[in-house]
Amino acid sequence: MNAIKETNFKFEAQTGFYRGKVRDVYDFGDKIVMVASDRISAFDVILPRPIPFKGQVLNQIAAKFLKATKDIVPNWLLATPDPNVSVGIRCQTYPVEMVVRGYLAGHAWRTYKSGLRVLCGVTLPEGLKENDKLPTPIITPTTKAHEGHDEDISREEIIAKGLVSEAEYTQLEKYALALFAKGTEMAAEQGLILVDTKYEFGQKDGIIYLIDEVHTPDSSRYFYADTYQENQEKGLSQKQLSKEFVREWLIANGFQGKDGQTIPEMTDEKVQEISTRYIELYEKVTGEAFVPANEGDVLARVEGNISQFFKNL
């Protein structure tokens, strides 16, 4: 399977390099190049095998939504010279992720089910069931960890610790909610419900930019709108488009990223299944047919396209 597990390029104008959970980031002065690898992470752990086409799926969905939301907030994206590559403005990243939730699902539901009613300083109403719609979308921020687990944090803690100034944080909240509203509208056009998502922001020269990916299945959860109400009334699981199916497989096999737990074997069949699901996610979220780009030597293709982009500047 021709998948990108990692890249180790050395470009002439390169000034730095950083490897994230799923992206390899190359610095070029005031620009950065993000290579969306085919690595997959869950519970903040990188799983042992890459997933063919996953990086292309995420990169192309992110590019579509960044272009569709640039009238709401400036974003970092300048170009996509390769299906797995985005080039953008180098920003100073805010050390928090803005998680917006419209429904009680995933981590929020697990917290609620445990008996807690306050999540990141936000009080949740009594009497909710899993996947119920919240009265209004809420923001439940997390710290942004370079290694290990992101941690829940409240608005008050962020400001008190000086992670983000109150004025800037208020603007981040406004941007996050406006982006969620736009994402909700675009999802509805595809017969989907945007359940929850996360946004990352940075700033450069006093301007706040939306950075990284947006509204992808790695950063977001979608439900199918046509079956949502019936499934809720019957107490059934929601059919969803997200990475949650990977987490559910791991949980069912005794892995949640905790010490002493072992990642279950990723067979060829499991890898292919996950790849197929990501392609389904792409086509459903964008409404467009997926065109696989990984032919021949994928690393040579990516490296060549990045080099050519900077030659043409």
For residue 156, give both structure tokens.
């008050």
What pLDDT, on a 0 to 100 scale, did the predictor assign at position 241? 81
Q: With a cut of 80, say whether residue 81 has pLDDT above it.
A: yes
- CATH number of this structure's domain 93-241: 3.30.470.20
pLDDT in tens, 14-54: 999 999 989 999 999 999 999 999 999 998 899 999 999 99
Q: Are 275 and 52 in contact (CB under 8 A)?
A: yes
What pLDDT, on a 0 to 100 scale, did the predictor assign at position 169? 98
Q: Are 30 and 16 in contact (CB under 8 A)?
A: no
Prediction pTM value: 0.89
Confidence category of residue 217, pLDDT binned at 50, 70, 90:
confident
Q: What is the mean pLDDT of residues 217-243?
A: 92
Q: What is the mean pLDDT of residues 199-215?
A: 96
Q: Are 35 and 55 in contact (CB under 8 A)?
A: yes
Q: What is the mean pLDDT of residues 253-267?
A: 94
Q: CB 141: neighbour CB atoms within 10 A?
A: 30
What pLDDT, on a 0 to 100 scale, did the predictor assign at position 239? 86
Q: Are 92 and 32 in contact (CB under 8 A)?
A: no
d(CA 154, CA 17): 31
For residue 35, give both structure tokens.
């290579």
Asked if the domains 16-92+256-311 and 93-241 are classified in one and the same CATH topology, the answer is no
What pLDDT, on a 0 to 100 scale, did the predictor assign at position 44? 85
What integer best gives the mean pLDDT of the chain?
Answer: 94
Q: With a cut of 90, say whether residue 218 has pLDDT above it.
A: no
Q: With a cut of 70, say whether residue 294 has pLDDT above it.
A: no
What pLDDT, on a 0 to 100 scale, did the predictor assign at position 168? 97
Q: Domain 16-92+256-311 belongs to what topology?
A: Phosphorylase Kinase; domain 1 (3.30.200)
For residue 306, give both structure tokens.
């990045």
Q: Alpha helix (H) ranges present in 53-146?
A: 54-68, 106-113
Q: Are 52 and 38 in contact (CB under 8 A)?
A: yes
What share of the chain has pLDDT > 90, as a percent? 88
Determine the distance from the C-alpha atom of residue 286 to the mean position of all C-alpha atoms in its chain, rounded to a whole number. 15
Q: With a cut of 90, say whether residue 273 has pLDDT above it.
A: yes
Least confident of 8-17, 22-31, 124-133, 235-244: 235-244
CA dihedral 23, 75, 242, 185 (to 10 degrees): -170
pLDDT in tens, 134-187: 999 999 999 986 655 679 999 999 999 999 999 999 999 999 999 999 999 999
Q: What is the mean pLDDT of residues 87-115?
A: 96
Burial class (CB in 10 A: 0-12, 13-18, 19+), 241: buried
Q: CB 44: neighbour CB atoms within 10 A?
A: 12
Sequence spans of domains, the chain:
16-92+256-311, 93-241
